[in-house]
Amino acid sequence: MLSVIFLWLFVFLLIVALFLLTGYQLMCCADLEMDYTNTYDFASEINSTVLPEFALQGILSSCFLISRHWVLFLLCVPLLYYHIRRYMHRQHIVYATEAFHQLGREKKARLVKLGFYMFLLFLSSFLMVVNMMNENY
């Protein structure tokens, strides 16, 4: 019972963290576009947050798996696959030399992710509340 609440809280925090990380990356992209930063800083800032994001997302997925929330897990699988694929192909890193070349694509991908995390955030908070109510009665 308590563990379920903790799990939900943990999941909730994970999603918030993912949301913030992605938002931060998007901000970096915007900064570069607006000329507030240069490609070197851009690359190092983005790259420093990419792996944590991937890891958090992995943890999140496994949480769903362990807690047997199959639907939520299935929702996360495509993104997990995408992350693993990028990592395996070493495409997760942004290169300073090609920052502008990659910028458009990276931004789009991150916007989609941001939307997904937001959806997940609402869904999980909704489920959390519903779950807790069920437990209580």
Partner 1 sequence: MHPFGNEKPLNALGQPAMPAPAASQATPPFLSSGPVVGFGASGASRTTAPFSSSGAFPNPGAQGAPQAMAPPLSSRPITGLETSGYTSPPQGRFNGLTRPPQPSYPVQDPNSFQQSLAPRFPPTSQSPYPLRSPPFGAPSVGPPLGPPPAQVPVVPMGPPPQISSPSPPRVSMAPPVLDSSVPAPTAVLHSPLPGNPNAPPLVNMPHQQFPAGRPVSMPAPQTFSAPNAPPYASPFNAHQGGYVPPPPPVGATLGFNSMGQTQYPSTGPPLEGTLQGLIEDFQSLSVASTPGTLDHGIDPKLLARPLEGDNEPTSILETYPLNCHPRYLRLTTHAIPSSQSLLARWHLPLGVVVHPLAEAPDGEEVPVVNFGPAGVIRCRRCRTYVNPYVSFTDAGRKWRCNLCSLLNDVPGEYFCALDATGRRCDMDQRPELCQGSVEIIAPTEYMVRPPMPPLYFFLIDVSVTAVRSGLLEVVSKTIKSCLNELPGYPRTQIGFITFDSTLHFYSLKSSSSQPQMMVVADLEDIFLPMPDDLLVNLSDSRSVVDTLLDSLPSMFQDNANVESAFGPALKAAFMVTGKLGGKLIVFQSTLPSLGVGRLRLRGEDLRVYGTDKEHSLQTPEDPFYKQMAAEFTKCQIAVDIFNFSDKYSDIASLGTLAKYTGGQVYYYPSFHASIHEEKLKHDLARDLTRETAWEAVMRIRCGKGVRFTTYHGHFMLRSTDLLALPAVDCDKAFAMQLALEETLITTQTAYFQVALLYTSSSGERRIRVLTTAVPVVTDLGDMYRQADTGAIVSVMSRLAIENTLSTKLEDARQLLQLKIVKSLREYRNLYVVQHRLAGRLIYPESLKFLALYVLSLCKTLALRGGYADASLDERCAAGYSMMILPIGRLLRLLYPSLIRVDEILLKASHKSDEVLERLPLTTESLDSRGLYIYDNGFDFVIWFGRMLFPDIVTSILGVDFSTFPDLSRAALFERDNEISRKFTKILMKLRAEDLSSYQLCHMVRQGEQPRESSLFLSNLVEDQTASTSGYRDWILRLFRQTQQSS
Note whether 28 binds partner 1 by CB under 8 A: no
Instruction: Kindly indicate which of the ranges 7-15, 21-29, 36-44, 80-88 contains the residues binding partner 1, using the contact rule CB under 8 A.
Output: 36-44
Note whether 6 binds partner 1 by CB under 8 A: no
> How far apart are CB 100 and partner 1 at their closest, in Å?
5
The CB-based long-range contact list for 75-80 (8 Å cut-off, 24+ gap) reads: 75/120, 75/123, 76/120, 79/113, 79/116
Q: Three-state SS for 37?
A: coil
Note whether 48 binds partner 1 by CB under 8 A: no
Compute the radius of gyration of the chain from its Cα atoms: 17
Total chain residues near partner 1 (CB under 8 A): 17
Note whether 62 binds partner 1 by CB under 8 A: no
> How far apart are CB 102 and partner 1 at their closest, in Å?
11
What does DSSP assign to residue 46?
Answer: H
> How far apart are CB 94 and partner 1 at their closest, in Å?
11
From candidates 14, 32, 63, 72, binder to partner 1 by CB under 8 A: 32
Torsion of CA 1, 73, 114, 84, to 10 degrees: 130
Q: Which of residues 77-136 bind partner 1 (CB under 8 A)?
A: 90, 93, 95-100
Binding site for partner 1 (CB under 8 A): 32-35, 37-40, 43, 90, 93, 95-100
